[in-house]
Amino acid sequence: MLVHPKKILICEDHQIVIDGLVSIFNNQPDYTVLDYVKNGMDVLPMVKETKPDVLLLDLNLPNKNGLDILKEIKLYNSEIKVIILTMYNKESVVKKVKQYNGNGFLIKNCSSDDLLRALDSVFESNAFYRGKGVKNNVVETDGFLEKIKITRREKEIILELVKGNNVPQIAKALFISTYTVETHKKNIFKKLDIHNTIDLVKLVNEKQLFS
């Protein structure tokens, strides 16, 4: 069966960056660049016209803030993937992108391999974040989890459980044993005073953890 390449719209106001991105995708049969947009006000109209699968979005476009564009795109069509490609490597910015349902976050000096990994990851329904406040693709949260001493590994497992992954799948994804996953899972439930994964999902949504 013929598989069509994923369609990319570049939202960036520096031509040298645009040219660099285009050159990367020229040799990638799985992806094709539809066009580019330099003005923030033109992003949504271009999305409606070209119907991309994914946006590579700079946060500092003329005439419209990139975070506002992200919210606008997700409101228009939540299925469109949006990867932020920016120079703003600030923890507060990373958290905002996560809060507004951005699918990925990369710093502009990232390698082409990281960019391609990010694209592959978001089309497998996984977020891909690199930046301040991010470790092992987990965006750190303030307050609640820290107060009850949830460890970094436990945060990773919480994210996997919320995705709907079972113990063997989590063990494979995190390169640990099923026994280790089960142990962490029991500790998580005890610390959070919950009894099952349904309770966990409800708690994560109510407290907007990892957002």
In order of 5, 40, 47, 53, 56, the CA distances from 34 in angstroms are 11, 17, 10, 10, 12
CATH assignment at residue 200:
1.10.10.10
- pLDDT tens digits, one per residue of 98-157: 888 899 999 888 888 889 988 988 887 677 887 655 554 544 444 567 678 888 888 889
Domains: count for the chain: 2
d(CA 160, CA 171): 10
User: Are 65 and 73 spatial neighbours (Cβ–Cβ below 8 Å)?
Assistant: no
- pLDDT tens digits, one per residue of 10-34: 999 999 899 999 999 998 889 999 9
Q: Are residues 84 and 128 in the same domain?
A: yes
User: What DSSP character marks residue 61?
Assistant: E
Asked if residue 159 has pLDDT above 50, the reply is yes
pTM: 0.64
User: Are 17 and 43 spatial neighbours (Cβ–Cβ below 8 Å)?
Assistant: no
Determine which of 58-62, 142-146, 161-165, 179-183 has the lowest per-residue pLDDT on average.
142-146
Q: What is the mean pLDDT of residues 77-100?
A: 87
Return all residues near 160 (Cβ < 8 A) that are at least 6 apart. 169, 170, 173, 174
Q: Are residues 14 and 95 in the same domain?
A: yes
The pLDDT mean for the chain works out to 86
Q: Are residues 125 and 151 in the same domain?
A: no
Does residue 131 sit within a domain? yes
Q: Are residues 153 and 185 in the same domain?
A: yes
Residue 134 has a pLDDT of 56
Q: Are residues 129 and 154 in the same domain?
A: no
Does residue 1 sit within a domain? no
Containing structural domain, residue 11: 6-139
Determine which of 39-43, 129-133, 135-139, 179-183 has the lowest per-residue pLDDT on average.
135-139
Q: Are residues 12 and 99 in the same domain?
A: yes
